[in-house]
Chain A
């Protein structure tokens, strides 16, 4: 098939062709970037936290009229409140283990500091997010220890939450270990927290442990985490609890009820419920990302539908307009297939032209979004995927009108309008 007559025909209705090509170009630009946003959000949401998330929940509450914790006596008083709660939790039939903890990954209450491999260092080597916990910390979180050992009970201490952070031992994430000691095994080495002078020995390394926030300010150190064997004593206390397999709901209900019974002078967080399953913590943390992905998918769908429908509409019009010419071609010996292919090729040319412009627009839009909204550079294959999608969409949309055109009988040529 020669393209010449087709080009001549296209030149006859430039405006329509330009409008369709423009629409395809814009669609491509938007769809590429939207799919890229969707892809990166899904990737974010699916990152494992490093916890064994099944059967894990958090209790968050505040003691009413609690002492300040500014001196030793009141700190001890706070600690005893916390220990009492923990023994209440551990005695529940549906609870496997429980540990005090300041926050959980994704739970959105973050304690961060600096880590160095030299004492008294002003410029920290890495930002680190702390998790302060007590007995059964690793067991309850379900993190995987890749080297070293768990804390012993003797290593677990406690302090007022505003007192200085000077642990003697810590377990850190593999990411933090690699960052601090890129060339060596970090196990057994010293680490200095918050520009301090007292060393902390790394006694274990866990495979993966995500920070307690997914907000963008913590992106740079989202995997640099340290587990510190210290119960924090404050007016509020949080506990991570692992329920026996399949007994999560029962354990959550029993936990808050038992805590209230043991000591009613407290306020439960989480909208007064006191306990929140890790699945819900995860859903809350990524709610904005999930929302953005859904929104972008909706927009993509509407966009593709609109553009597809637009192509159907305009091609139908062209088919109607060229009814007679099609009849003449058929009468001169063109097969049905030739007519079908004519419209398909025509669409491919228009869509191809639009896609070329669209690639430039897509990259331009991405560069602009990168500049304004700190987005990443779009990988080439997203653009190629987008090109594939719009070309396929064009072919699908043109098929029905083209098929109708191919059914125009040759006898039309002999009739006058």
Chain B
């Protein structure tokens, strides 16, 4: 009971925090438009004010009706079991949220840290690429250590990590690792199956998008992954 009360306040605080932050930044573009008397900031501000009202309304509703169960037809129909599921799995504590936030933050470390270390953001720079490889390796180990205790958080973070590395390492080299990672985190342990499925999905995607539809997927900038990516494309096309 007490716990859910805290979560109501946290929820309201998150919304109001977002409103406050964006309202503050609406002064950045609060400029006059000659032909439009309300200016550029009026519309977002109106949205933010309504949002604050709705967040407070939601808080009051939660506190006053905390014991009642919402049983609207729409509410039940929209229910996909994700809430119940979250409660059942026990992934609702503050510790779990912090742990997951840490995992999801790792990709952003990868995006920013090598640039800071190398002092350049020029994609052609070999020094930057070296730092990127080192960072990728270190973060992969950190990721595995953190993921060990929190598979659900890792499932959320792995695709973001994959996306963050996509431009550098390339789709062709990264996809097999990603396929294996997702399967492993979702509880698959039969390694023969994992290898077979990985091969099947990879082949299917390559035939469909590279051979048939000529989608230009990122080949990566960092060697040797770049060479691998271009090799796959040359073989298929």
Is this pair of chains taken from one and the same complex?
Answer: no
